[in-house]
Amino acid sequence: MTRINTNIPSMIAQQRLNRSGLDLQVRLERLSTGLRINRGKDDPAGLIISERLSTDISNISQAIKNGERASSVIATTEGSLTEITDLLNSIKALAVEAANTGALSDEERAANQLQIDSAIQSITRISNTASFGGLRLLDGSLDYITSGISSTEISDSNITSASFINTSTINVDVDVLSSAQKGNLYLSGDNSGTGDGTILSQTTIQIRGPEGVRELVLQSNQTFASVVTAVNNLTAVTGVEAALVNGDANSGLVFRSSEYGSNSFVSVERLDVPDPSSLDNFSLFKLDSNAAIPTGGVVWGDPSLVAANRDEGADVSALINGTLASGDGLNISINSPTLGMELLLNETFAIDPTLTAATFDITGGGSLFQLGPDITALQQTNIGIQSTSAESLGGTLVGGDLQFLSSLSKGQVNSLDAAAGRSNFSALQDIVDNAIDDVSILRGRLGAFERNVLDTNRRSLQSAFENLTASRSVIRDADFAKESSELTRAQILQSAGTSVLALANQQSQQVLQLLG
């Protein structure tokens, strides 16, 4: 049927031309943006997942930057710690030189003291000024804040890490399970049956301890009190001290290591052969299996006493928040995912497991590093960086008092003049050695954090970044080869549709020929 009011072929041609035109626009848009999905209608499901991947990629990118910034903070901190180590080594060398009192004048020792004072001041200055972008690194600002620590229970504390998950305060309980001990060898004061507390005949003994070995000749009828004095005069070179059992010469004599722990020991051997006809019986005993010293003191005849010439000390054993801590003499330490610390226990507390557990709180502080793409405790690490000032380094128990590097300054208890006056530089040396250890351990801990946490975390995040970016590209990016082909097809259809529409419009004009 021939009609002129309604041109159906033209309508069909227009519809097809519009469709090819829209397809052409889509291809041009994809080729110009490089994206297959430019709006939701292109691929609704693909848009949703690609946007989620974009969020993950953005967060991971920021987490990588966080790790790189944390590495920069660690590097800056270690640079300052390196300088402090050099200064401590120079202090140690000056102290060793000053100990050569037989060849060093008072003026030279004073010059050495001047250099030590200058080094100590420099250490404190570096500690107070080391910073990164306004963030103080070594003045204690990044250390943990504690409250409730009793010096009668805990002499010194070093909190290395703490995780404040769903809490603003961490309560710490320290419960001693078994006591710290020194090596102890007991000599009865009643060997002759008279209970006179004296050496019955001349005796030569060899005393050996962690510091060295010395021989000592004990004279006949020499009192135990004078033996104690003689042994204690050699403590600096043997690491062994002596005391009267229960404070009474008639109760006997005890030889013991000067320090607590399994690394400390005492050995006493008789070198001469006793006269068989004499009543002398220089026999030594120890408590079997490192049994704890009875509260009332040693009682002769106790079955736990066994003959021995050597005894080792024992490390304190304790629980920290229910977790067994590692013991080293009076020191205990723990390193769990939620809590890391090192504690120096007070001697009285460490040797008496019957005492009530010590408690204190960690109320804040530390240095929080956000290492993952999500703000959760599992993707954060909190570490503490202690102050490295001279007043905080080298904490050492000397005569029951905790002394630090600052005590080496002129006029202080461990200055060169004070050490030379008592002819004993051991306390000074111990403090400097402990200060060097403090800085070295801090550097090692920060280095381990950078290597085992920051570096591995960065590599893991970079791998995730690459894989997620590739996944998003598969979903959202345009395939240029395919889109170019589709563009050519759309262009051809557009040209063909235009031609067909022109022919369809011409068909209606042919009706006029019927009117002649």
- Dump pLDDT digits (tens) for 45-104: 888 888 898 899 999 999 999 999 999 999 999 999 999 999 999 999 999 988 888 888
For 265, what's the count of Cα atoms within 13 Å in the CB-facing half-sphere? 13
Structure tokens at 474: 């598969």
pLDDT on residue 298: 62
Confidence of residue 1 (pLDDT cuts 50, 70, 90): low
pTM of the model: 0.77
Q: Is the pLDDT of residue 498 over 90?
A: no
Neighbours of 37 (CB within 10 A): 20
* Alpha-carbon gap, residue 59 to 372, rounded angstroms: 8
Average pLDDT score over residue span 275-280 = 58
User: Which of 163-167, 192-196, 445-449, 493-497 is the least confident region?
Assistant: 192-196
Enumerate the β-bridge partners of residue 172.
360
**Residue 196 confidence (pLDDT) above 90:** no
| Residues 422-446: tens digit of each pLDDT | 777 888 888 999 999 999 999 999 9
> Does pLDDT of 408 surpass 60?
yes
Tokens found for residue 7? 């041109």
Distances (CA, A) of 458 to 66, 267, 337: 9, 53, 20
pLDDT attached to residue 220: 83
Rounded CA-CA distance 281/272 in Å is 12
**Burial (CB count <10 Å: 0-12, 13-18, 19+), residue 13:** buried
- With a cut of 50, say whether residue 5 has pLDDT above it: yes
Instruction: Please report the pLDDT score of residue 251 as a whole number.
Output: 79
Q: Give the separation between CA 357 and CA 346, rounded to whole angstroms.
A: 13
**SS3 string of 470-486?**
HHHHHHHECCHHHHHHH
For the chain, what is the mean pLDDT? 86
Strand partners, 327: 332
Phi, psi of 64 (to 5 degrees): -60, -45
- Asked if the model's pLDDT at residue 193 lies above 50, the reply is no
Domain ranges of the chain: 184-312
Q: What is the pLDDT of residues 319-366, one digit of tens each?
A: 999 999 999 999 999 988 888 999 999 999 998 899 999 999 999 888
pLDDT (0 to 100) of residue 281: 62
Q: Could you give the angle at which helices 44-98 and 456-476 cross, rounded to 10 degrees?
A: 170
- Helix/strand/coil percent split, the chain, to 5: 45, 25, 30
* Residue type at 101 in one-letter notation: T
pLDDT bin (cut points 50, 70, 90) of residue 9 is: confident
Report the alpha-carbon distance of residue 250 to residue 101 in Å, rounded: 41
Structure tokens at 356: 């009530």
**HSE of 143 in the Cβ direction (CA atoms, 13 Å)?**
17
Mean pLDDT, residues 304-310: 85
Tens digit of pLDDT for each residue in 141-192?
A: 889 999 999 989 999 898 988 888 778 889 999 999 999 999 999 887 665 4
Determine the length of the chain: 516
Summarize pLDDT for 215-259 with one digit per residue, the tens. 999 888 888 889 999 999 988 889 999 998 878 777 788 999 999
**CA distances for 156 relative to 43, 146, 343, angstroms:** 64, 12, 6
What percentage of the chain reaches a pLDDT higher than 70?
92
Answer whether 487's CB lies under 8 Å from 27's CB: yes
Cα-Cα-Cα-Cα torsion 345, 346, 347, 350, nearest 10 degrees, comes to: -50
Distance CA 217, CA 272 (A): 10
Dist. CA 244–CA 369, nearest whole Å: 55
